[in-house]
Structure 1
Amino acid sequence: MVPAGQHCKKFGGNGATPALTVSGIPAGANAIIVELNDATYQPLSYDGGHGKIGFWITGGGQATLRAVPGGTKAMPAGVFLEAKNRATGGWASEGYLPPCSGGNGNMYFADVKAVYKAKSDGEASKLLAQGRIDLGKY
């Protein structure tokens, strides 16, 4: 289950991304991208339908990713909004959209990607490793 209160404002929540510890990060990675999705609702079930949050990291190994509030494009230091959510209508919000099914039992997950994120126009970003974590039902 998604923890109590970690759902969207539309249904009275004040959700944030979960804090995560990511291990097995390749040495060339400089960022972790967390793509949040709703497996039950097809339009938001892929490619970060609920938003993509990036975390700058130094080196490989392991990184602890802090919780980031939903519904805002303002990110804390060391965190960036890779892509806002794709929700529309009454569900639309800036940044990450926390679970927002109204308690209908939708299943949420995150694709976690270790990347080299290009820092200049002459470089190319590169996916180095990826994994998936189930976040629970709401």
Structure 2
Amino acid sequence: MLAGQQCRLHGGKGSTPPMRVSGIPSGAVWIIAYFNDKSYGPLSRNGGHGTFGFPVRAATTDLPAVPGMKAKLPGGARVIKAARSSGDYASAGYLPPCSGGRGNRYTVDLKAIDKAGKVLDEITNFDIGKY
């Protein structure tokens, strides 16, 4: 993980890493991204750190960095489900890595979705860093 990408509670202004997704199947209209902390059970799956939709622009599509703790997102992206965190960790969207530097493993699952909501392709547990 790049320096400064952790949550505000640990001195950062984190955002998701920008990603380039290629090989997107024909008919896909959204890439749905589920951000997880694989080292912390309650936020380890199904978008524990937030779930976002990114519009597909071509067979190769750039997903912009999503700023932490915000509901308004760049590049036509939208919050599907905010992070499941609560209290001081509550977020209107993405919760940046917030483990306090214990080496937790952060991943993203990406799903290519057609206009009917059918999953056309997916990749799971793609590593995006440790904190």
Q: TM-score range by the shorter chain?
A: over 0.9
CA drift of 1:62 comes to 0.9
Given that 2:54 and 2:78 are in contact with CA atoms closer than 8 Å, whether structure 1 keeps it comes out as yes
How far apart, CA to CA, are the structure 2 residues paired with 1:45 and 1:134? 13
Aligned to 1:100: 98
Q: Secondary structure at the match of 1:93?
A: coil
Aligned to 2:5: 6
Instruction: Provide the aligned C-alpha RMSD in A.
Output: 1.1
How far apart, CA to CA, are the structure 1 residues paired with 2:33 and 2:50? 8
Which one of 110, 113, 120 corresponds to residue 111 of structure 2?
113
Q: Secondary structure at the match of 2:103?
A: coil
TM-score after normalising by structure 1: 0.90
Percent sequence identity is 49
How far apart, CA to CA, are the structure 1 residues paired with 2:24 and 2:75? 21
Task: Give the total of aligned pairs.
Answer: 130
CA drift of 1:72 comes to 0.6
Aligned to 1:136: 129
How far apart, CA to CA, are the structure 2 residues paired with 1:67 and 1:91? 20
Matched, 1:58 2:50: no
Aligned to 2:118: 126
Aligned to 2:87: 89
TM-score after normalising by structure 2: 0.94
Aligned to 1:25: 24
CA drift of 1:64 comes to 1.0
**Unaligned runs of at least 5 residues, structure 2:** none
How far apart, CA to CA, are the structure 2 residues paired with 1:77 and 1:16? 14
* Structure 1 runs of 4+ with >6 Å offset: none
**Unaligned runs of at least 5 residues, structure 1:** 118-123
How far apart, CA to CA, are the structure 2 residues paired with 1:66 and 1:88? 25
